[in-house]
Chains A and B, each alone.
Chain A
Amino acid sequence: EPEVTQTPSHQVTQMGQEVILRCVPISNHLYFYWYRQILGQKVEFLVSFYNNEISEKSEIFDDQFSVERPDGSNFTLKIRSTKLEDSAMYFCASKGTDSRTDTQYFGPGTRLTVL
């Protein structure tokens, strides 16, 4: 069964460093998402991406964040200058052709630890 994959599974970085989290969505999907889950808190929407552009972003997704689909298969989340409060589990998700009803399939997540 097709699945969403994410790398790395765990990333440790120093505050102020740039990190890139990578995701490979399911191949025929058109909608892509990033969510994060701070330890002990709910899963929060960060950004959605469709047709090579951001379709929606949350208040969390400020100028320090960016997303890219560089080669038609990978979908990346970049944090330019990490803060302690960016420590969280980051989930990538993808969805098929129906923007309303299709299921979002989630990857296993990348645990980001900012020291």
Chain B
Amino acid sequence: AQSVTQLGSHVSVSEGALVLLRCNYSSSVPPYLFWYVQYPNQGLQLLLKYTSAATLVKGINGFEAEFKKSETSFHLTKPSAHMSDAAEYFCAVSLYNQGGKLIFGQGTELSVKP
């Protein structure tokens, strides 16, 4: 069965520092991978997605992620953190041979210190 593991339930960085949020997946078939962000009291907003095209995916707000099949990873990065990036980030997987349901990781809360 497919699953998603996010390493680190809470990550804290200084403003201007690199953001790295880790996501590993388990899937027996080629997956589609997503990163969503959830700001307090809001729904989930798509940051970026990988759907078997380019392995380096660029998303909104300066975020990007690289699909590495050999490492079964899809880590999210941003070169320079901004205070407004503080939120909960969810990695999710969906399989092409299913109805598109998303399987989410546990989430990583990102804090940005001034």
Name A's B-contacting residues (CB within 8 A).
4, 31, 33, 35, 41-45, 48, 50, 55-56, 91, 93, 95, 99-109
Residues on A with C-beta less than 8 A from B77 are none
Q: Mark B72-114, 1 if CB is under 8 A from A, else 0.
A: 0000000000000000001010101011111111110000000
CA distance A93 to B36 in the complex (A): 13
B99–A45 contact, CB under 8 A?
Answer: no
Q: Mark B47-88, 1 if CB is under 8 A from A, else 0.
A: 001010000000000000000000000000000000000000
Residues on B with C-beta less than 8 A from A48 are 99-101
Among B42, B100, B106, which residue has its beta carbon within 8 angstroms of that of A42?
B106
Residues on A with C-beta less than 8 A from B90 are 42-43
Name B's A-contacting residues (CB within 8 A).
32, 34, 36, 41-46, 49, 51, 90, 92, 94, 96, 98-107
CA distance A21 to B92 in the complex (A): 24
- Please report the number of residue pairs spanning A and B whose Cβ atoms sit closer than 8 angstroms: 64
Residues on B with C-beta less than 8 A from A56 are 98-99, 101
B43–A45 contact, CB under 8 A?
Answer: no
CB contact under 8 A between A108 and B42, given known A100-B51, A101-B51: yes
Q: What's the minimum C-beta distance from A30 to chain B, rounded to whole angstroms?
A: 10
CA distance A93 to B94 in the complex (A): 14
Among A44, A95, A102, A103, which residue has its beta carbon within 8 angstroms of that of B104?
A44
Residues on B with C-beta less than 8 A from A55 are 99
Further 12 A-B residue pairs, CB within 8 A, beyond A43-B104, A50-B99, A103-B49: A33-B101, A42-B90, A43-B102, A48-B99, A56-B98, A91-B43, A100-B94, A101-B32, A102-B100, A103-B46, A104-B46, A107-B43
A4–B43 contact, CB under 8 A?
Answer: yes
CA distance A62 to B43 in the complex (A): 25
Among A31, A45, A50, A108, which residue has its beta carbon within 8 angstroms of that of B103?
A45
Residues on B with C-beta less than 8 A from A109 are 43
Q: What's the minimum C-beta distance from B45 to chain A, rounded to whole angstroms?
A: 7
CA distance A53 to B105 in the complex (A): 27
Residues on B with C-beta less than 8 A from A100 are 32, 51, 94, 96, 100
